[in-house]
Structure 1
Amino acid sequence: MKIEVVKTFDEQHKQIGTATREDVHKLGLWHEAFHCWLVEEVAGTAYIYLQIRSENKKDFPGLLDISAAGHLTADESAADGVRELKEELGLSVIYDDLVNLGIFTYNCVRPGFTDREFAHVHLYDLPISWDEFLLPNEEVSGIVKTKYQDFYDLWLDRVAAIHVEGFMFDAAGKRICIDKMALRNEFAPHDASFYISVLQKMEEHLLKKTNERRNFNESV
């Protein structure tokens, strides 16, 4: 089995060395990750796609999570992280099609596991269909979508549950449709402030895109 090595950093994002993936979590070392959120607009309403983590995952098995995410290895740049979309969701995407939302610090401390990341967060907002997702695999067992505003309200504690719809595969490989209300404890327990900061940046892009579209329509 190949040992995954990542770059390590101080709190100012200055590289200080390298370490194995296991050690960065055991020792609480800062490292880099790639995150990509899939978003689509339908009739003026924005939706976010969320993956369902495989039950075989060591961390947060079976929970809803960021569309696609993973560690950047020692020899990778943020652009190389686009491979996560292929590995986890089966989507062939080029980096130039992504919107770079910036680098967000992510700090999650649990007994025996500390995750301190400089997350390179991206957005993919081109049209996509359910048939494009190639699942399942050892990383992801399903995919759902929910309204952007509902997801935002969940982390602002305005609502206790939100509607999600999509599909997943059970242990026997049978495809199951999902159409339900999901509680907050069904989502990966990233800190609410992290979710909110990313969603705020995402909203800036969505509003800018809406205004550009409105201005274009008014000019023709």
Structure 2
Amino acid sequence: MAFEIVVLVSGFGSNLQALIDAAKAHPDQYRIKAVICNRPQAYALERARQANIPYFTICAAAGQTRESYDQQLNQQLETLQPDLIVMAGFMRILSAGFTEKWQHKLINIHPSLLPKYPGLNTHQRALDARDAIHGISIHYVNAEVDGGPVIAQAQLEIKSQDSAETLAQRIHELEHQLLPAVVLAIATKKIHYNLAHHQVTFLGDEIQAPLSLENLYRAKSTD
């Protein structure tokens, strides 16, 4: 049986589309079992519908606590029993109890070179700091906002004419390459999370520095 993932989304879903396309290209490696969204009008749900992927909307009620919402999300995931949960633009902070339960199966994509710029407005913060480079990180999730062991990163040079909007567009191109590559590497057991020691390994060795696209493509070419 193919490795099964659930994708958590909140918005337009371009990273979801990248995962859908990769799953079609590698049907023997992984499949998207379901999409879960917290916003009923998100275009990501239309992407799931067009790809014939089951989808669920779990909206937060007025005044609902984070823990209560996460209990609903947890119940749906318990039913689905995915091998991996991918936060692909899921704009909610998860509770400590939820992340502790799922941390070995839960990854997130974040638009900065962590540990730089956790949280929001990462592109503008990189510009304000006059950084020369900017990028993305994919990491396992823990209770710390945008914390947890970093798996892989990709970066680009910031151009003098860049704005937060142009950086966001260029960053999306990196995301659409790196996220499917990481998911494929997890699905094929090249990347593994050692829950006992909270360590991430790649090809059996502990990751000492974030993996690059080149690392992941090289490993794939040896299959």
- With a CA cutoff of 8 Å and minimum separation of 6, indicate the structure with the bigger relative contact order: 1
Same fold (TM over 0.5): no
TM-score by length of 2: 0.25
TM-score by length of 1: 0.26
Structure in which a larger fraction of residues adopt strand? 1
